[in-house]
Homo-oligomer: A and B are copies of this chain.
Amino acid sequence: MNKLYSLGLDFGTNSVRALLVNISGGAETATSIWNYQYGKNGVVISENDPLFARQHPADYVNGTRNVVKDVIEKARKNDPDFTPDKVIGIGVDTTGSTPIPVDKSGQPLAFNQKFRNNPNSYAWLWKDHTSAEEAEEITAKAKKSHPEYLRRCGGRYSSEWFFAKILHLSRIDRKVFQAAESFVELEDFVPALLTDNLAPQKLKRGICAAGHKALYCSQWNGLPSEIFLTSLSPDFKGLRNRLYEKAYPAGDQAGRLSSKWARELGLKEGIAVSVGAFDAHLGAIGAGIKKNGLVKVIGTSTCDLMVFPSGNERRLEKIDGMCGLAESSIIPGSIGLEAGQSAVGDIFAWFAENCVPADYSAAANKNKKKIQAYLSEKAARLNPGESGLLALDWNNGNRSVLVDQKLSGLILGQTLATRPEEIYRALIEATGFGARTIIDQIEKSGEKIKEVITCGGIPKKNPLLMQIYSNILNRPLKIAASEQTCALGAALVGAVAAGKEAGGFSSVTEGQKILCRFESKEYRPDKKSVAAYQKLYRLYSQLHDAFGRPDGALFSVMKELLKHG
């Protein structure tokens, strides 16, 4: 059997990961990780501004070089059949929106001596929130002149996104802004680099970043109009032309591996490099998402990715509180829909670190258990509702469906006998109710969610959470088998970009059949618990609406508390 391989590159917040996949048999042959070198864990931060987060593009270039060489070496050891010339495609996923200011040749300005110590010329990492004011301006202007722009991004343009960041740059650093010929998302920069297509006119942009972060939509001929953009700032005059007209789905070819990079990496020149996309979106592909499916990436927060049939845009646009809706952003030809919960694992970690007493820590140590595993064990012995506790999962605000960062956590029902494991369980349940709220909001529109697949750091580690979620959602829950669904999805679209004739896949769906596996353990709802959670969810919704909806009886309370701080 003539084995072929595809390479996935996954650019995260702190490191880049490579995965070599045997696309004939579906096995993950080798993986490697390379930590970024600049800043703190790869993030260039500011002492004075917690909202500031940049990345040096050199980390992307060096990271690519190092991680690919290493993964090839590992693959040779792991798999006697492997040789680098059997790699037929490369796919790339990255964080985003992470725009990089580039010059006329497409080189990041950060590589220019003039700007080397100026982080405004670096990549503006997704979690840079310095552009909050600009995001509000864009929202306000779009509301007035182009409400259709907002219908696809949850009604509000975010400070994490492309144009807010560029607008902020134009105000705080004219030199960098004026030196920038264009701005390139990280997801597009890496494929362009590998295919020697960096020049902005040649560079193929991905529809994932375009649609979800830059208001790109075929309905209004691509990016927002020149008139709208110049209304944001006269400095934006001409910018639209220096960006792009058309964007492409992952699986399309960004180009072919350049001879220079082929040499550098030890791969075959001319193999296909896919158009890039965001990590979560290719992660959804790697997890096995299908039409009317939901992939829930459960980690510190959740990212909820859904795919719906094309043609349903109108209906989907009307669902409040989603993070974004874009054509072909996950599976080409279908609609990708994003939602999310601002904190999940982060809440449990906060609780474990700040609220668990010494005797519990000691007992966990003694039993050689991590504190959360120890709490889970105790919490698993409780019945739903037994503790009398109920919590809201808003310690980091609420992304979906309220889209409100100015909300905060709540827990109620405490008595003098309330135990730590009861609170821990209530916090898990709260995130489960939050998950249910998102699904309910979508299904109220008439769309159906037929399958829920989970992935991310938590599902394999926390069976208690999985069973609780299954009971709260009243649905079976699958777990994607791969530890690296993002890199797997990237490798998959790399093989799609290579195409059938090169031994790759003819479509994402075909690739998924071969590459995507599930854990044998599937969580199924337990009837009795479902009924108990039904009742608790009703109470959760009461709290949710009272504190979280603008017409709620206690809507002002959390906001007023923030103001006093």
Contact = CB atoms under 8 A, between A and B. Distances in A.
- Using C-beta atoms within 8 Å of the partner chain, give the interface range for chain A: 35 or more
Interface in A399-440: 408-416, 418-420, 423
A542 B562 contact: no
A261 to B, nearest CB: 40
Interface stretch (A177-185, A190-198, A553-561): A553-561
Nearest to A389: B561
A295 to B, nearest CB: 24
A358 B362 contact: yes
Interface string A542-565: 110011000001101110111011
A385 interface: yes
Contact of A560 (B357, B386, B535, B558): B535
A418 B554 contact: no
B350 A357 contact: no
A100 interface: no
B553 A416 contact: no
A404 to B, nearest CB: 14
A561 B546 contact: no
Contacts of A388: 408, 561-562, 564-565
Contacts of A386: 564-565
B411 A347 contact: no
Contacts of A539: 557, 560-561
Interface of A: 343, 346-347, 350, 353-358, 361-362, 384-390, 392, 395-396, 408-416, 418-420, 423, 532, 535-536, 539, 542-543, 546-547, 553-554, 556-558, 560-562, 564-565
15 contacts: A343-B416, A350-B418, A356-B357, A356-B358, A388-B564, A395-B414, A408-B415, A409-B412, A411-B412, A413-B561, A539-B557, A546-B546, A546-B554, A553-B554, A554-B554
Question: Which 5 pairs from chain A and chain B are nearest by CB?
Answer: A409-B414, A385-B564, A553-B553, A410-B412, A358-B361
